[in-house]
Amino acid sequence: MSDEKSKSGLNLELAKVHSEINGLFGKLGAEVEKQVKQNATEIDVLKIVNSVGIKLDEAALLELKIDRIIFVLPWVHWCCWFPWRPIWCWWWNKNYPWYRCCPYWWHSCHWHPTHH
Protein backbone atom coordinates (compact mmCIF):
# COMPACT_ATOMS: atom_id res chain seq x y z
CA MET A 1 0.00 0.00 0.00
CA SER A 2 1.37 3.40 -0.89
CA ASP A 3 2.17 5.91 1.80
CA GLU A 4 -0.52 8.24 0.43
CA LYS A 5 -3.21 5.52 0.58
CA SER A 6 -2.14 4.65 4.11
CA LYS A 7 -2.48 8.28 5.22
CA SER A 8 -5.84 8.54 3.48
CA GLY A 9 -7.12 5.45 5.31
CA LEU A 10 -5.89 6.80 8.63
CA ASN A 11 -7.57 10.14 7.97
CA LEU A 12 -10.88 8.38 7.21
CA GLU A 13 -10.66 6.36 10.42
CA LEU A 14 -9.80 9.44 12.47
CA ALA A 15 -12.71 11.29 10.86
CA LYS A 16 -15.09 8.50 11.95
CA VAL A 17 -13.73 8.50 15.49
CA HIS A 18 -13.90 12.27 15.73
CA SER A 19 -17.48 12.21 14.51
CA GLU A 20 -18.30 9.71 17.26
CA ILE A 21 -16.65 11.65 20.08
CA ASN A 22 -17.87 15.02 18.83
CA GLY A 23 -21.41 13.62 18.87
CA LEU A 24 -21.03 12.43 22.46
CA PHE A 25 -19.47 15.66 23.71
CA GLY A 26 -21.99 17.72 21.74
CA LYS A 27 -24.74 15.90 23.66
CA LEU A 28 -22.82 16.45 26.89
CA GLY A 29 -22.56 20.19 26.28
CA ALA A 30 -26.24 20.43 25.40
CA GLU A 31 -27.22 18.54 28.56
CA VAL A 32 -24.99 20.70 30.79
CA GLU A 33 -26.42 23.86 29.18
CA LYS A 34 -29.96 22.52 29.67
CA GLN A 35 -29.33 22.02 33.39
CA VAL A 36 -27.82 25.51 33.67
CA LYS A 37 -30.93 27.00 31.99
CA GLN A 38 -33.04 25.10 34.52
CA ASN A 39 -31.13 26.97 37.26
CA ALA A 40 -29.21 23.95 38.54
CA THR A 41 -26.68 25.00 41.16
CA GLU A 42 -24.71 21.76 41.03
CA ILE A 43 -24.27 18.92 38.56
CA ASP A 44 -23.67 15.22 39.15
CA VAL A 45 -20.82 14.57 36.72
CA LEU A 46 -21.27 10.80 36.70
CA LYS A 47 -25.01 11.01 36.08
CA ILE A 48 -24.81 13.57 33.28
CA VAL A 49 -21.88 11.89 31.52
CA ASN A 50 -23.59 8.49 31.59
CA SER A 51 -26.88 10.01 30.40
CA VAL A 52 -25.28 10.99 27.08
CA GLY A 53 -23.65 7.61 26.48
CA ILE A 54 -20.18 8.08 27.94
CA LYS A 55 -19.86 5.05 30.22
CA LEU A 56 -17.89 6.34 33.19
CA ASP A 57 -17.95 4.87 36.71
CA GLU A 58 -16.93 5.97 40.21
CA ALA A 59 -13.49 4.36 39.89
CA ALA A 60 -12.78 6.32 36.71
CA LEU A 61 -13.87 9.57 38.38
CA LEU A 62 -11.44 8.88 41.22
CA GLU A 63 -8.66 8.04 38.77
CA LEU A 64 -9.35 11.26 36.87
CA LYS A 65 -9.49 13.24 40.14
CA ILE A 66 -12.91 14.65 39.29
CA ASP A 67 -15.43 15.38 42.03
CA ARG A 68 -18.74 13.69 41.36
CA ILE A 69 -20.71 16.83 42.27
CA ILE A 70 -19.52 20.11 40.81
CA PHE A 71 -20.97 23.57 41.20
CA VAL A 72 -22.41 25.49 38.27
CA LEU A 73 -20.99 28.81 37.11
CA PRO A 74 -23.99 30.02 35.07
CA TRP A 75 -22.25 33.19 33.87
CA VAL A 76 -19.37 31.25 32.23
CA HIS A 77 -19.63 28.91 29.22
CA TRP A 78 -19.87 25.30 30.38
CA CYS A 79 -16.62 24.20 28.74
CA CYS A 80 -14.71 26.58 31.04
CA TRP A 81 -15.88 24.98 34.30
CA PHE A 82 -17.13 21.48 33.49
CA PRO A 83 -14.29 18.89 33.64
CA TRP A 84 -14.66 17.67 30.06
CA ARG A 85 -10.93 17.53 29.20
CA PRO A 86 -9.93 14.59 31.42
CA ILE A 87 -13.13 12.77 30.37
CA TRP A 88 -12.24 13.40 26.71
CA CYS A 89 -8.76 11.92 27.22
CA TRP A 90 -10.17 9.01 29.26
CA TRP A 91 -12.63 8.23 26.45
CA TRP A 92 -9.84 8.15 23.85
CA ASN A 93 -7.67 5.96 26.05
CA LYS A 94 -10.53 3.54 26.81
CA ASN A 95 -11.93 3.28 23.28
CA TYR A 96 -8.83 3.80 21.12
CA PRO A 97 -5.86 2.91 23.37
CA TRP A 98 -3.39 2.77 20.51
CA TYR A 99 -3.66 6.57 20.40
CA ARG A 100 -3.25 6.76 24.22
CA CYS A 101 -5.17 10.02 23.90
CA CYS A 102 -6.71 12.00 21.10
CA PRO A 103 -4.27 12.59 18.23
CA TYR A 104 -4.28 16.36 18.67
CA TRP A 105 -3.22 16.35 22.33
CA TRP A 106 -0.52 13.67 22.28
CA HIS A 107 2.09 16.07 23.66
CA SER A 108 -0.05 18.41 25.74
CA CYS A 109 -2.73 16.18 27.20
CA HIS A 110 -4.69 17.46 30.20
CA TRP A 111 -4.77 13.97 31.64
CA HIS A 112 -2.69 10.99 30.64
CA PRO A 113 -2.33 7.64 32.45
CA THR A 114 1.46 7.91 32.61
CA HIS A 115 1.30 11.32 34.31
CA HIS A 116 0.09 9.85 37.61
pLDDT at 109 over 60: no
C-beta of residue 53 within 8 angstroms of C-beta of residue 27: yes
Q: What's the Cα-to-Cα distance from 108 to each of 38, 86, 105, rounded to whole Å?
A: 35, 12, 5
* Dihedral pair phi/psi, residue 70, rounded to 5°: -125, 155
Higher pLDDT, 1 or 82: 82
Write the pLDDT tens digit of every residue in 8-55. 666 788 888 889 999 999 999 999 999 999 999 999 999 999 999 999
pTM strictly above 0.95: no
